[in-house]
Amino acid sequence: MLTTNNPSAMITFSAPLLRSIPLTHDVTQFDFSLEGQSVEYKAGQFFMLQLEDAQGKASRAYSVSSAPSEKLFFSLCVKILPDGRASQFLANFKPGDSAKFMAPFGHFFMTDSKKDVAMIATGTGLAPFMSMLPTLFEQGFEGKIDLYFGVRHEADLFYVDELRAFEAAHPNFRAHVTLSQPPDSWTRLKGRVTDYLNELDYSNIQVYICGNGDMVKGVKDFMQEKGVTKEDLHWEQFTAL
């Protein structure tokens, strides 16, 4: 069930699209204006897009991929499905077009734990981490932060320059980017994100997982076997399977 953690803070608002930025062949970043709005949300939470098309009304959840400290706009990072209602609705949006949202929703946000952080993402599951990472840096978080980001092909990669810039600016952050179907020329990490999780120190860790259902379930089971407690295990699942 999709729930808001603070019903009194939830609002419905219209936001004009500022710009859309293609990130890959099928992932686009949409920046919506927050001017004149005061939406309180935490890094990692999602907004519900309320859409209306020829089939009628529908709503879809999208994790915010910009930091809450950004007061002028918020970003979504959306996989555009050829037959997807909401993703096609967004793909046809032009700057100035307004979309309706309800926000904020979800319990996938950082606790105030000082333990080291492991973030595990596949595909657009990277979105909430692009909100959490700058927020942790702004807060001066001193523990180690390891992000594992997996996609299939090189052409599916996005935000890698941003992740490398975070690494350069914050010595406590490492991004481990892996391709499950790399080209012969690929010299970096290969395989699934789960192939690399044994290298973490499980004595002092909080874990955040986001992506498709199979990956989330697999990593959750793995973390439980490693002894990660319920309080230290957080996940957001984008698809039912």
Write out the residues near ligand FAD by the rule CB under 6 A.
46, 60-63, 77-79, 81, 83-87, 106, 124, 127, 236, 238-239
Nearest distance, CB of residue 52 and ligand FAD, angstroms: 13
Whose Cβ is closer to ligand FAD: residue 51's or residue 200's?
A: 51
Nearest distance, CB of residue 128 and ligand FAD, angstroms: 7
Nearest distance, CB of residue 198 and ligand FAD, angstroms: 27
How far is C-alpha 19 from the chain's CA centre? Answer: 19
Nearest distance, CB of residue 87 and ligand FAD, angstroms: 3
Whose Cβ is closer to ligand FAD: residue 84's or residue 218's?
A: 84
**With the CA atoms of 91, 153, 136 and 75 taken in that order, what torsion angle do they form, in degrees rounded to the nearest 10?**
-10
Whose Cβ is closer to ligand FAD: residue 62's or residue 148's?
A: 62
Nearest distance, CB of residue 155 and ligand FAD, angstroms: 16
Whose Cβ is closer to ligand FAD: residue 144's or residue 233's?
A: 233
Nearest distance, CB of residue 194 and ligand FAD, angstroms: 19
Whose Cβ is closer to ligand FAD: residue 168's or residue 240's?
A: 240
Whose Cβ is closer to ligand FAD: residue 43's or residue 205's?
A: 43
Whose Cβ is closer to ligand FAD: residue 84's or residue 182's?
A: 84
**Whole-number Å distance between alpha carbons of 29 and 57:** 23
Query: Smallest Cα–Cα separation from 126: which of 103, 171, 160, 154?
Result: 160
Nearest distance, CB of residue 131 and ligand FAD, angstroms: 10
Cis peptide leading into 134, omega within 30 of 0?
no
